Amino acid sequence: MACRTPIGQLCKRASQPSTLNFTSKPTAALWRRGSICQSRSFATPVPPVTQNATSSKGPTAMVFMNMGGPSTTDEVGDFLSRLFSDADLIPLGRLQGYLGPLLSKRRTPKITQQYAAIGGGSPIRKWSEYQATEMCKILDEISPETAPHKPYVAFRYANPLTEEMYNKLLEDGFGRGKGGRAVAFTQYPQYSCSTTGSSLNDLWKWRQRLEGKSVDTKSDNDGTINWSVIDRWPVHPGLVEAIAQNIEAKLLEYPEDVRNEVVLLFSAHSLPMSVVNRGDPYPAEVAATVQAVMQRLGHSHAYRLVWQSQVGPSAWLGAQTSDTVTNYIKKGQHNMILIPVAFTSDHIETLYELDEEVIGESGHKDTIKRTESLNGHPVFIRALADIAKAHLDSGMACSKQMGLRCPGCKSERCAESKKFFAGQQLAI
Work out whether 303 is an interface residue with a copy of itself (CB under 8 A).
yes
Using CB under 8 A, pick the residue from 32, 259, 405, 419 that binds a copy of itself: 405
Q: How far apart (Å, rounded) are the C-alpha atoms in residues 99 and 103? A: 6
Catalytic residue among 149, 236, 269, 377: 236
- Residues in 383-402 at the binding interface with a copy of itself, rule: CB under 8 A: 399-401
Work out whether 102 is an interface residue with a copy of itself (CB under 8 A).
no
Q: Edge-to-edge, what's the strand order for the sheet holding 60-66?
A: 149-155, 60-66, 181-186, 226-230
CB atoms inside a 10 Å sphere around CB 396:
18
Using CB under 8 A, pick the residue from 24, 96, 167, 291 that binds a copy of itself: 291
Catalytic residue among 202, 231, 355, 386: 386
Using CB under 8 A, pick the residue from 125, 137, 278, 389 that binds a copy of itself: 278
For a copy of itself, give the closer residue by CB, 43 or 406: 406
Cis upstream peptide for 160 (omega within 30°): yes
| H/E segment holding residue 265 | strand 263-269
For a copy of itself, give the closer residue by CB, 10 or 409: 409
- Residue among 149, 216, 207 nearest 183 (CA): 149
- Count of residues near a copy of itself by CB under 8 A: 45
Mode of pairing for the β-strands spanning 226-230 and 181-186: parallel
Q: Which three-class secondary structure state does DSSP give residue 370?
A: strand
386 is a catalytic site residue: yes
Work out whether 327 is an interface residue with a copy of itself (CB under 8 A).
yes
Cis upstream peptide for 272 (omega within 30°): no
Q: How far is the CB of 332 from a copy of itself (least distance, A)?
A: 11
Using CB under 8 A, pick the residue from 249, 273, 311, 426 that binds a copy of itself: 273
Please choose, out of 38-46, 168-176, 322-330, 370-378, the segment that lies near a copy of itself by the rule CB under 8 A: 322-330
User: Which segments within 324-417 are labelled E, that is strand?
Assistant: 336-340, 368-370
- Residues in 208-247 at the binding interface with a copy of itself, rule: CB under 8 A: 234-235
The partner residues of 185 in beta bridges, in order of sequence, read: 64, 230
For a copy of itself, give the closer residue by CB, 117 or 273: 273
Using CB under 8 A, pick the residue from 306, 342, 383, 428 that binds a copy of itself: 306
Work out whether 317 is an interface residue with a copy of itself (CB under 8 A).
yes
Work out whether 116 is an interface residue with a copy of itself (CB under 8 A).
no
Work out whether 305 is an interface residue with a copy of itself (CB under 8 A).
yes
Work out whether 263 is an interface residue with a copy of itself (CB under 8 A).
yes
Using CB under 8 A, pick the residue from 47, 366, 407, 412 that binds a copy of itself: 407
Cα distances from 69 to residues 146, 147, 327, 394, in angstroms, run 31, 30, 31, 32
Work out whether 119 is an interface residue with a copy of itself (CB under 8 A).
no
Using CB under 8 A, pick the residue from 406, 419, 423, 425 that binds a copy of itself: 406
Work out whether 43 is an interface residue with a copy of itself (CB under 8 A).
no
Task: Provide the H-helix boundaries in 85-197.
Answer: 96-117, 124-142, 162-171
Q: Which three-class secondary structure state does DSSP give residue 287?
A: helix
Yes or no: say if 343 and 376 are a contact pair by the CB < 8 Å rule.
no
- Residue among 344, 178, 339 nearest 263 (CA): 339
Could you tell me how many residues make up the chain?
428
Work out whether 290 is an interface residue with a copy of itself (CB under 8 A).
yes
Q: How far apart (Å, rounded) are the C-alpha atoms in residues 165 and 206? A: 10
Task: Provide the H-helix boundaries in 310-411.
Answer: 321-330, 348, 378-394
236 is a catalytic site residue: yes
Using CB under 8 A, pick the residue from 324, 335, 350, 417 that binds a copy of itself: 324
Q: How far is the CB of 218 from a copy of itself (least distance, A)?
A: 20
Task: Give contact residues for a copy of itself (rule: CB under 8 A).
Answer: 234-235, 263, 273, 276-279, 281, 283-288, 290-291, 295, 299-306, 315, 317-320, 323-324, 327-328, 331, 399-401, 403-408
Q: Which residues are catalytic?
A: 236, 386
